[in-house]
Structure 1
């Protein structure tokens, strides 16, 4: 099971349904293996431009710095791993910039299950067998001073 964030784009028309998208947490292999293809597939244009600029700058730095081939390969693999680790977060950030709202976080087996679960719970209203709790406005939720305690490092148990 994985965690999925559910994003909703408000309907374009007054009576239309909102579009829902589930994004899984975790590493993106395709973003690490073929970043340009992955970025273009998800229409992340700013990411494509930044990736191309970074690749050119890295290539120039390798050429001017006379970096050995094994070191350049290791640096390229490290950059690919970083891209794979941050790809889902960058996708979420781009959706938020485009007006999509983060409406839920669910733990299910597949993205289709997450979308179906959210749509069923939204359509069933208050009598839903499955409840999807809304996200707090601030994250992490604010705690009253009395709940924090006076210790610098509170005990877990």
Structure 2
């Protein structure tokens, strides 16, 4: 099972189908396409800043390998490790770009494939109950007024 995030414009409201035409589902996890076709994958997904960053990073790794006098095998190994890192972080960079463009994560679903994830996300978005929202404060937060708190330790100073 794989998790997917649903990205919609900030002003989209649960239950409205109008914005679902422009919704994007981003799978979480390793991206084989980003691993194999690094720069082309980023260009295909219109991730311009990420493309530029990845391209500069790959060029910097190649130049550093040359300056350090790495053997061709070690250069290949370093490039392979960088490609693995890119495959691991490609989905996160895609989510970051969507959030920067005004399409934050609105929901997350777990499904076997993209078609099932799309069906689940649309059913939750259009269903009678809106998708769950992130809590504003964590459950263990102190709500007692007037209690002095230093840092992250919610203990009263008088109880030492």
Deviations 1:63-108 (A, max 9, x none): 2221111111110110000000001111001100000021111111
User: What CA distance in whole angstroms lies between the structure 1 residues aligned with 2:90 and 2:5?
Assistant: 14
TM-score by length of 2: 0.75
SS in structure 2 at match of 1:103: strand
**CA gap 1:112/1:123 in 2 versus in 1, 3 angstroms:** same
TM-score by length of 1: 0.77
Answering whether residue 52 of structure 2 is matched by residue 55 of structure 1, we say no
- 1:30 aligns with one of 29, 33, 56: 33
- For this pair of structures, how many residues does the alignment match? 141
Give the gaps of 5 or more residues in structure 2: 143-153, 155-160
1:153 equivalent in structure 2: none
CA RMSD of the aligned region, Å? 2.8
2:107 equivalent in structure 1: 104
1:104–1:135: 8 Å Cα contact kept in structure 2? no
- Structure 1 stretches of 4+ moved >4 Å: none
- Based on CA coordinates, which of the two structures has the bigger radius of gyration? 2
